[in-house]
């Protein structure tokens, strides 16, 4: 697996700033478009990424809170995008993802997902994250995951 060796803070910021562009190659498929995350910040040195997600009405459960599956999807998307950056041009996939729900997420909340790579080898990346509500910086959920770097390159066209 020959990976991109030109990674740096400026490149990372540039790459993540494009996630909302209509022509961003990762938007070829639906979930990124549906959840519409926004890039907030990243750290190349610390291997961290923060994305924000606005809670939308279609994501609510019957009790009026954000559906747990959507919370997990937000984690998976944030983890996946961070892994994609460090593994590019290779594809990645989730091996496992464990989530702990702490506080309900309400309509009109903005959820900030703070993801961090704990370790990265040739084929396995381990990460942790927190989901925080922008209002009052409330910890809503935590997650831990393992991703695999595949021996297959992404179609970036």
Distance between CA 47 and CA 118 in Å, rounded?
A: 8
78-107 residue pLDDT tens: 999 999 999 988 999 999 999 999 999 999
41-57 residue pLDDT tens: 999 999 999 999 999 99
61-77 residue pLDDT tens: 999 999 999 999 999 99
Total-model pTM: 0.93
The CATH homologous superfamily to which domain 9-153 belongs is Hotdog Thioesterase (3.10.129.10)
Residue 89 φ/ψ, nearest 5 degrees: -90, 10
What share of the chain in percent tops pLDDT 90?
A: 80
- Of 99, 101, 81, nearest to 147 by C-alpha is 81
């Amino acid at each position: 697996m020959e990976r991109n060796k030109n990674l740096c803070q400026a490149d990372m910021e540039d790459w993540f700033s494009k996630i909302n562009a209509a022509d961003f190659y990762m938007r070829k498929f639906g979930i990124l478009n549906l959840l519409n995350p926004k890039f907030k910040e990243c750290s190349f040195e610390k291997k961290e990424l923060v994305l924000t997600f606005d809670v939308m009405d279609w994501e609510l459960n019957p009790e009026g809170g954000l559906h747990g599956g959507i919370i997990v999807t937000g984690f998976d998307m944030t983890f996946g995008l961070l892994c994609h950056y460090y593994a590019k041009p290779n594809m990645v996939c989730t091996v496992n993802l464990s989530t702990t729900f702490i506080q309900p997420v309400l309509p009109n909340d903005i959820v900030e997902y703070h993801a961090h790579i704990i370790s990265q080898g040739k084929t396995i990346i381990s990460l942790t994250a927190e989901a925080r509500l922008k209002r009052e910086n409330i910890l809503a959920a935590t997650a831990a995951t393992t991703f695999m770097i595949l021996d297959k390159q992404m179609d970036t066209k």
